[in-house]
Homo-oligomer: A and B are copies of this chain.
Amino acid sequence: MSAQTFLIIGGVAGGMSAASRIRVLNPEAKIHVFQKNSYVSYIACGMPYLIGGKVNSINTLVMYDAAFFKEKRKIDVSLHHEVQKIIPSEKIITVKNMETGTMTDYPYDRLLISTGARPVVPPLKGINLPGVFKLRELEDGIALNNFVNNNKPQSAVIIGAGAIGMEMAEAFSERNMSVTMVEKMPAILGTMDDEINEVIENELKNKNVMLIKSKAVVEFIGENSVRAVLLEDGTQLKADIVLVSIGIRPNIELARDAGIEIGQTGAIKVNERMETSIPDIYAAGDCAEAYHLLLKRNVYMPLGTTANKQGRVAGDNMAGGNVRFHGIVGTSVFKVFDLEVGRTGLSEKDAKKEGLTYVSDVIEHFSKAHYFEGAAKIRIKLLAEKASGKIIGAQLVGKNGVAKRLDVVASAIGAGMTAAEMNNLDLSYAPPFAPVYDPILIAANEILKKL
């Protein structure tokens, strides 16, 4: 029997996790990764910190290059190769070498689709002007960073007030630009409830970021380079640089054209083994759905952690294992200026949308002993299901002690804990790290009163 052939479309988190896992489990396998641009295995989430100046080299964000994979893991990586077509009936893919234009068919025994996602780019006048950027691929980050270095923009406009917009508002500020954020919706951060957004808006104000809500952008104005953003009400915002960050869409066209089932979310439908609807074809990462443990259905919530885990599970199963991706509870976190912001489980918006009967409460409490240096209040919004008392969601915001405290709730949700059970947790206390009653326990105790 000849060695099995594993083909992987896309070489970032999901793809390279799978490739590496297959190699561990199958030393003989032929593994070939096709990546349409110039980098594999890069840390997309680090780009705002490259631009903000906290990461000083692009190399820092590239974990391993193609040569590393070839030499150390015997994994072939073809850069600048775009997969054009998957033909499941023949178990081949057609790949275009972007440098030569040559088309080649590659047969596979098992195939992974980890094509990621792409930013939503509104078809507005001026969208292709120099100085108007998106931030998704490493190339985007490099281009944006070079533009900042070379053009020294003084004013930045960010379209979209989501997590990446927030991280970039900080990054642009650190590069001494005046920053304006424009959000089409009445609220920033659609994933968060008002009580949390209020704290974030206040922080933006303190850091001199101008926030414009409920206003659509209609045009990017400029000749050789962008110089202003035109809003629907006629306002012109000066802009030496623009970042468009209004969301992402999964790259599902290859899969769809091959007859692979697309889920209701618009992303590739997968089961817990990361199998698609067609045998021997798997999907993982930002192009795929993820099972949500609370909602008990697949959702589209693309994140680096999930992509890595799904890639690993896919690789395991492709190599003959039987591993399942347990699912997510919707944990995410980001930093914006001096604030740490995180959520896990469902927001109140989510709970309403799902028609759940819940109680919610908002508390504020110190992150450490109130007299200890750096002590600051954390605001916690906690949600519990009315009937069962189970914790179904939390949002935290504060200057410190947010992210891993959030993980305590993520663990509680993962374990199906009730508010009473969370209230009983034996959490750590010492003045530098927490008050005697940790804010998580205060929140649990308060919500218990409402149950």
Residues of A within 8 A of B (CB): 13, 43, 45-46, 49, 54-55, 60-61, 293, 303-306, 308, 326-335, 340, 342, 344, 369, 371-373, 401-408, 410-412, 414-415, 417, 421-422, 424-434, 436-438, 440
Q: Are A410 and B433 in contact (CB under 8 A)?
A: no
Specify which chain B residues have a CB less than 8 angstroms from the CB of A303 in the assembled complex. 429
Specify which chain B residues have a CB less than 8 angstroms from the CB of A408 in the assembled complex. 404, 407-408, 410-411
Q: Are B427 and A331 in contact (CB under 8 A)?
A: yes
Give, as a whole number of angstroms, the nearest-CB distance from A32 to chain B: 24
Q: Are A427 and B407 in contact (CB under 8 A)?
A: yes
Interface centre among A45, A54, A335, A428 (most CB of B within 10 A): A428
Asked whether A431 and B45 contact (CB < 8 A) given A404-B407, A405-B407, A407-B404, the answer is: yes
Give, as a whole number of angstroms, the nearest-CB distance from A174 to chain B: 12
A46 CA / B424 CA spacing, docked (Å): 24
- This chain: how many copies in the complex? 2
Specify which chain B residues have a CB less than 8 angstroms from the CB of A412 in the assembled complex. 411, 415
Question: A45 touches which one: B402, B403, B430 (CB < 8 A)?
Answer: B430
Question: A305 touches which one: B304, B328, B427 (CB < 8 A)?
Answer: B427
A432 CA / B48 CA spacing, docked (Å): 11
Question: A344 touches which one: B369, B428, B431 (CB < 8 A)?
Answer: B428
Closest to A45 in B: B431
Q: Are A404 and B433 in contact (CB under 8 A)?
A: yes
Asked whether A425 and B431 contact (CB < 8 A) given A46-B371, A305-B436, A404-B408, the answer is: no
Closest to A370 in B: B60
Give, as a whole number of angstroms, the nearest-CB distance from A345 to chain B: 9
Asked whether A326 and B424 contact (CB < 8 A) given A46-B369, A55-B371, A437-B308, the answer is: yes
Specify which chain B residues have a CB less than 8 angstroms from the CB of A304 in the assembled complex. 429, 436
Closest to A56 in B: B371
Interface centre among A334, A406, A411, A437 (most CB of B within 10 A): A411
Give, as a whole number of angstroms, the nearest-CB distance from A260 to chain B: 26
Give, as a whole number of angstroms, the nearest-CB distance from A33 to chain B: 18
Q: Are A410 and B429 in contact (CB under 8 A)?
A: no
Specify which chain B residues have a CB less than 8 angstroms from the CB of A425 in the assembled complex. 407, 410-411, 414
